[in-house]
Amino acid sequence: MKRFVYIVLALLFIAYIILPSPVAYSAPVISVTDPEGDDRGPGYYGYPTADVFKPGVFDILKFEVYDEGNNVVFKVYVRDLGGNPWNGPNGFCLQYIHIYVRTKAPLPARTDTIGLNVLLRPEYAWHFALLLAPGWESDPVPVGQRAALYLPTQVVVQDDSFKVYADTDNNAIVAEVSKDLLPDVENIANWVIVVALTSYDGFGPARVRPVDVTGGEWAVNGTAYATPDMVKRIAKAIAQGIEPRIMDLLVYSADYPNGITAEEQYSWLDSYNIDLGLPAFIPGVVLQPVTITETQTLVKTTTKVSTLTETTTVEKTVTTTSVEEKTITTTSPTTTTVTVTDWTITGVVGIILLIIGFAIGYVVKKK
């Protein structure tokens, strides 16, 4: 009997050493709260109908980052972990948490996300990403089901230097990462961080549970709180593969040091464009129309067709050539007649003067 007790105590001691347990940390470097009840994705998503998806399992309440000596600790709190119905090795199985981090280091950066159907704006492009999955198998997600750390040049699968586990007492999922794996650990407070919570699906695309127009036992309901217009829009987005696959979103940056509101989340995740086939951006981007004024200028140029009436003035200039012909024919007769008349008058006057001269001379001689 004593031997049995010793064996049990030895096993408990070994389990205490091997299994990760909640740790009391120092004050967080980053602590951001998130609104409760905003786990609706773009504002109109609903949970799958299976009983395991309890209310709140996809609802982020708080996010914290700790500097703990040789490690950086990331902690995501949810309203309810929902237990671990499928016995995920990391202590949870319903949630799939993505943490995208942009540091101050001059490193290559990516604006895509891994299976979430959203893009990050360039100033939020990530240098490393933590994908916290339940932990089955040996390969990293999304190829396998182990939690993974994505870096610019490598992928690290959870191990002794990268641990992932559930803090069930606080409904939190925790990642402890060695500082040797991370860049720019001296500037944690200045990092830009996007935290996305989606539903884990070991059989779904990129291990993410798909969104369906009407939902189902194992699919996210894409129209649970949608208006008729929204139903048509999300249906087109799903057909194009640009529907956001996120249930809750948290952002930390210089622009959002206290996180974002539910309205901002809904607006950003609803910013996908079905006309252009573009996914949503985080933070949201509003595309401005630029083609309306161009069509107005084209209409104005057609009014210049009225210049064709000027052809009538060309016909008038042709008829004026007859006037020029008359001027040429009248110049030579006028010059000839004037010359003859002047010489005749001069001769007569000369003869008369000659006769008068002879008469005067005769009279003078006779005296």
Q: How far apart are CA 107 and CA 338, in angstroms?
A: 107
Tell me the pTM.
0.73
Say if residues 246 and 269 touch (Cβ distance below 8 Å): yes
Query: Which pLDDT tens digit goes with each residue over 44-57?
Result: 999 999 999 999 99
Dig out the tokens for 252 from the structure. 């930390």
Q: Give buried/exposed letters for 253-268 (b at 16+ CB in 10 A, else e).
A: beebeebbebebbbbb
**Ranges of the chain whose pLDDT falls below 50:** 4-5, 8-9, 11-21, 290, 292, 297-349, 363-364, 366-367
Q: Is 179 exposed, middle or buried (0-12, 13-18, 19+ CB in 10 A)?
A: middle
Q: Could you tell me the sign of the dihedral formed by the alpha carbons of 99, 101, 107, 113, in that order? A: positive
The per-residue b/e assignment along 307-336, b for 16 or more CB within 10 angstroms, e otherwise, is eeeeeeeeeeeeeeeeeeeeeeeeeeeeee
Each residue of 99-138: pLDDT tens digit? 999 999 999 999 999 999 999 999 999 999 999 999 999 9
Q: Which phi and psi (to 5°) does residue 8 adopt?
A: -60, -45
Q: In angstroms, rounded to a whole number, what is the distance separating the alpha carbons of residues 277 and 273?
A: 6
Task: Give the pLDDT of residue 326.
Answer: 37
Q: How many residues does the chain have?
A: 367
Q: How far apart are the first and last CA of the chain?
A: 207
